[in-house]
Amino acid sequence: MGYQKKTGKGRLDKYYHLAKEQGYRARSAFKLIQLNKKYNFLSSARTLIDLCAAPGGWLQVAQKYMPVKSLIIGVDLVPIKPIPNVITFAEDILTDKCRNRLRQEMKTWKADVVLHDGAPNVGSNWSHDAYSQTELVLMSLKLATEFLNKGGTFVTKVFRSKDYNSLIWVFNQLFRRVEATKPPSSRNVSAEIFVVCQDYIAPKKIDPRFLDAKYVFEDLLLNKAQTSTDIFAPETKKNRRQREGYEDGDYTLYKKIDVMEFVKSRDPAGTLGGANEMAFTSEEAIEIAKLPETTEDILLSCKDLRLLGKKDFRRLMKWRAGLRERYNLEKAEEQPKIDENAGGEDGSDIEGELDALATEEVKKLKKERKRQNAKRQRQLIKMQLNMVTPTDIGMEQDGGDPLFRTDKIVDSNGNKVLKEINNADMATVEPDVDFADEELVELGSRPIEPKRARDAAADNDDAVDSDEERRLIEIESQMDEMYSEYMDHKRERDAQFDIKRKRAAEEEFRGFSDDEKAQRNRPGSDDSDTDSETESAAETDQEMSDDDDDGDDDEIRSMMRKAKKTKKQGPLSAAQDVKLAGRAALWFDQPVFKGVGSVNLDDITDDEEEVDGNENGKSADGARVDQSAGKRKRSALDADDEGDVEMASDDDDESDFDADSGDEDEGDPNNVELNDEERQADYDLATPEAMTMVRDLANRKTTKEELIDKHFNRYTFNDIKDLPEWFVDDEQQHNKPTLPVSKEAVRMLREKLKALDARPIKKVAEAKARKKMRASKRIEKVQKKAESVIANEDMTEAEKARNIDRMIKRATKAKPKEKVTVVVARHGNRAVQGRPKGVKGKYKMVDPRMKKDLRAQKARDKRSKKGGRR
């Protein structure tokens, strides 16, 4: 048994070997075997189409598990090696050609099973791959809808991506049973799962939008929400002619229901959302139409349910509640349930039970709300770690959907209470607070109560009972759910865009534009503006400017301050600043900031930023004050160009500064190639003076201009023409001011040197490497020996193990130095040939004379040393 070879993802796993053993062309064959074991769709199938079938593992399984003489067709982009009794051809399943060819092969038959295991080439862009895979899935579903028999099965591979839920929704519209599963042979590291759709409904007509990738993946959730219960969403009014949403098997565009269906429905909001008109056709409904409570308004609302506003909706719900009471429907429905639970107890118990149910429902809603808040909180934390962008958490919601605008929320005096609401603990907000387009007023013990509720309380006729309230709560929660779905969808869309934008920014990032800086500095400018958030990468490129040193310094400082504020402020302001924080992270990711000490944001005050004591420490966002200070130092020392920004390279020494570009003191900067020593001499913080300067700059004790000024004196512009060289040299040594040196700078420099000293010297490093090499050679030897032991068939497994264990112990055991016994060649040991008697182990014969001579020599040396000192 040698070493188990493992390439990417541990490819050579159990199923790989099993597939080889059993003659399957691909290990994926086991996925189908396992799926079939669970759902058993192959044994009863007579016709099967495998889309994306190469190399043919699934076809082999189909051929093995389906009855003989079944029709099996496999198609793939690449040709499939022939399999007995299987028709294969090479086509792209996304083309019409493939469809026609399938039609040709299928003749008048219909398929019992359609399989799809397609996967596009998986590259580095995960979100794109997942998308094209889902497109493949949708196309295979399209083919399945064309070729599948009623009751047929469609099995497809799906990658867990943002489109997953949309796909599942579509499957559910076309199949009675849809289950997602991951067979054991599918690697855990893979995002793939398999969806088994059984019992194909085979509707006569399918809305083409179901199978249109653009529609399904872009707008599905939104539209779905609009058509189910979102009947008071303003968008519905605008788009009321675009009716969507179908029930199983019902694919008509216009849906008319009987009023009683609504009255009896346990999901009235859903019923209303799913229909266009309510008619009074049944006998009971005709009776209802004659009742006084069935007002003109109600009749009008029933005519076009898509036109319902929120008030209409509530009116209908109240009307329904009255009817249910009149027909005792509530009791009829609740009684058996309660009897079941209460075991046939008396009326008061039933009341109690109802109350308990109601409180439980409210509790559930609160719990859900808390969960949503926790989710939002998590998003926020992620965002602060730059894992997502503000658009991802939908912080812009206040300005967005009018349905959720909080700026309309006012107290009884007409003051806006947005602030209080923002500060409030959302988990404790009453679930029936109306955040929609109605005014909210303070009322009694309830801090915020809809005006509508107050009116309702005043008007006895309109009063809603507790059941109805519960239903309204339900509707409110549905609204919340729909909104969160919408936000999720939006977030997902943004995420894809954001990845691209981030990538583009990472690939080529040079700085920020003046425009943007100006905008940020402008009072009242809104950093959380989503429009600016969605600037294209091209714009970012355009914005890049590297010609203003001061500006860059200010930028860094302002970003640090912003980041610090982000820490202190609440979540909303944090979201507004996070875009900037993200940018700051990008900015500090530049190579110029490598190797410079981190900044403790808490230690920075607006007036003075303290430099982190640890010069080499790295902060999470890579902000490095020392480095920016070093940059300033360079700028200051160069002193010949205002807008010179220096880029530092990642050198051996972390604080070394390198000039990739920029003007040099003399000549063409591009031609100046500095070697390490020169660079160190010129740019390293190798002197206490340089270190002091840099620290002063970083701590804003001085400015670049002041530094530059200090280096000019009355001798600077002396005309040195015609002066003797020795004089000029001498002058240059003495006409410069002595630069100040701070204690802290000296200490830092000393520490830096200490760190340098602590590095192992070359010889020690070489000796260590030799030792390592010897050890690895020993291990190699043992390995070889172990292999031969393993191959030895005469030994038992236990013997082999013991042997190898011994060998490893021997190889890794450090050998103690053997003791050498010194034997003086005197008395019996004189002129002895070979080992002297009674001596074991290593020995060394020494001449007694030699020993005496050696001792005498040592004594002489000692004496002469003493004499010398005197």
Ligand X SMILES: C[S@@+](CC[C@H](N)C(=O)[O-])C[C@H]1O[C@@H](n2cnc3c(N)ncnc32)[C@H](O)[C@@H]1O
Find out whether 145 and 33 touch, Cβ atoms under 8 Å.
no
794 is annotated as contributing to ligand binding = no
Closest distance to ligand X from the beta carbon of 534 (Å): 32
Closer to ligand X at the Cβ: 28 or 628?
A: 28
Tokens representing 640 are 């010949």
Question: Which region, judged by CB under 6 A, interacts with ligand X, from 23-31, 458-466, 593-601, 709-717?
Answer: 23-31
Interface with ligand X by CB under 6 A: which range of 118-126, 189-197, 225-233, 701-709? 118-126
Q: Which is nearer to ligand X, 187 or 502 (CB)?
A: 187
Comparing C-alpha atoms, which of 630, 649, 618 is closest to residue 695? 630
* 54 makes contact with ligand X (CB under 6 A): yes
Can you tell me the distance from the alpha carbon of 568 to that of 605, in angstroms, rounded to the nearest whole number? Answer: 13
675 DSSP 8-state letter: -
Give kind and range of the element (H or E) at residue 34.
helix 29-39
Closer by beta carbon to ligand X, 55 or else 273: 55
Closest separation in Å from C-beta 210 to ligand X: 20
Which residue among the candidates 14, 81, 142, 157 is catalytic per the annotation?
157
Least distance (Å) between residue 157 CB and ligand X? 8
CA dihedral 561, 567, 570, 574 (to 10 degrees): 60
Report the residue from 15, 19, 28, 632 that binds ligand X according to the rule CB under 6 A.
Answer: 28
| Residue number with CB closer to ligand X (64 or 855) | 64
Among 77, 307, 495, 746, the residue binding ligand X under the rule CB under 6 A is 77
Is 652 annotated as belonging to a binding site? Answer: no
Would you count residue 129 as binding ligand X (CB under 6 A)?
no
**Min dist. Cβ of residue 55 to ligand X (A):** 5
How many CA atoms within 13 Å lie on the side-chain side of 699? 15
Stretch binding ligand X (CB under 6 A), from 73-81, 159-167, 172-180, 679-687: 73-81
191 binds ligand X (CB under 6 A): no
Which residues, in sequence order, are CB contacts of 512 under 8 Å at separation 6+?
543, 544, 545, 555, 583, 587
The contact mask relative to ligand X for 290-309 (x = CB under 6 A, - = no) is --------------------
Position 35 contacts ligand X (CB under 6 A): no
CA–CA separation, 114 and 186 (whole Å)? 20
Please provide the DSSP assignment of 574-624 as one string.
HHHHHHHHHHHHHHHTSGGGTT--B--GGG--SS-PPPPS-TT---TT--B
In the list 15, 19, 26, 441, the residue contacting ligand X (rule: CB under 6 A) is: 26
Candidates 56, 322, 582, 622; binder of ligand X (CB under 6 A) is 56
For position 76 contacting ligand X by CB under 6 A, the verdict is: yes
How far apart are the C-alpha atoms of 178 and 201, rounded to whole Å? 12
**Helices and strands in the chain: count of H runs, count of E runs:** 34, 13
Query: How far, in Å, CA of 308 to CA of 237, rounded?
Result: 8
> Is residue 78 involved in binding ligand X (CB under 6 A)?
yes
Smallest distance from ligand X to CB 503, Å: 25
Q: At what angle do helices 310-326 and 466-507 cross, to 10 degrees?
A: 150
Alpha-carbon gap, residue 801 to 789, rounded angstroms:
9
117 annotated ligand-binding residue: yes
Contact pick of 15, 25, 324, 350 for ligand X (by CB under 6 A): 25
The verdict on 74 binding ligand X (CB under 6 A) reads no
Identify which range of 54-62, 240-248, 555-563, 846-854 contacts ligand X by CB under 6 A: 54-62
Under the criterion CB under 6 A, does residue 122 sit at the interface with ligand X?
A: no
Answer for the pair 504, 537: CB distance below 8 angstroms, yes or no: yes
Closest CA to 320 of 140, 464, 423: 464
Among 10, 37, 81, 92, binds ligand X (CB under 6 A): 92
94 touches ligand X (CB under 6 A): yes
92 annotated to bind ligand: yes
CA angle 166, 168, 173 (to 5 degrees): 100
Peptide bond into 55 cis (omega under 30): yes
Q: φ, ψ for residue 719 (rounded to 5)?
A: -85, 110
Pick the piece of the chain touching ligand X (CB under 6 A) from 88-96, 545-553, 700-708, 787-795.
88-96
Tell me whether residue 607 is annotated as binding.
no
Q: Of 76 and 549, which has the nearer Cβ to ligand X?
A: 76
Is-contact 195 36, C-beta < 8 A? no
Q: Would residue 157 show up in a list of annotated catalytic residues for this protein?
A: yes
> Taking a C-beta distance cutoff of 8 angstroms, is the pair 452, 432 a contact?
no
Cα separation, 137 vs 120, in Å, equals 11
Residue 137 contacts ligand X per CB under 6 A? no
Question: Is there a contact between 130 and 161 (Cβ–Cβ < 8 Å)?
Answer: yes
Task: Give the annotated binding-site residues for S-adenosyl-L-methionine.
Answer: 56, 58, 76, 92, 117
Query: Where on the chain is the footprint of ligand X (CB under 6 A)?
Result: 25-26, 28-29, 52-58, 76-78, 92-94, 117-120, 136
Task: Give the annotated binding-site residues.
Answer: 56, 58, 76, 92, 117
Could you give the residue numbers annotated as active site? 157
